Amino acid sequence: MAIGNVMEKGNYVYIYDERNQQIGSIWINPNSDKLMGYTSSTVNVKKGSYVYTYNEKAQQISSRQI
């Protein structure tokens, strides 16, 4: 299932499919973390000095220090 949209709202980043159905969510600290961007298969979230990459099910698949 492909990612259609991603929204940052409060303490979460919500992941939606192409039919606008929520398919996952990622907890964030809104004071320090933020959504960096997304593709049809991944979501990138900055948490502290790291960028974490998640799949469409909100499972972490990689991280890198920035």
Q: What is the pLDDT of residue 47?
A: 97
Question: How far apart (Å, rounded) are the C-alpha atoms in residues 60 and 34?
Answer: 15
> How is the chain split into domains, by residue range?
3-59
pLDDT tens column, 9-42: 999 999 999 999 999 999 999 999 999 999 999 9
Q: What is the pLDDT of residue 62?
A: 99
Please say if the pLDDT value at position 1 is more than 90: no
pLDDT tens column, 38-63: 999 999 999 999 999 999 999 999 99
The 3 state secondary structure assigned to 28-50 is: CCCCCCEEEEECCCCEEEEECCE
* pTM confidence score: 0.93
Distance of CA 7 to the CA centre of its chain: 8
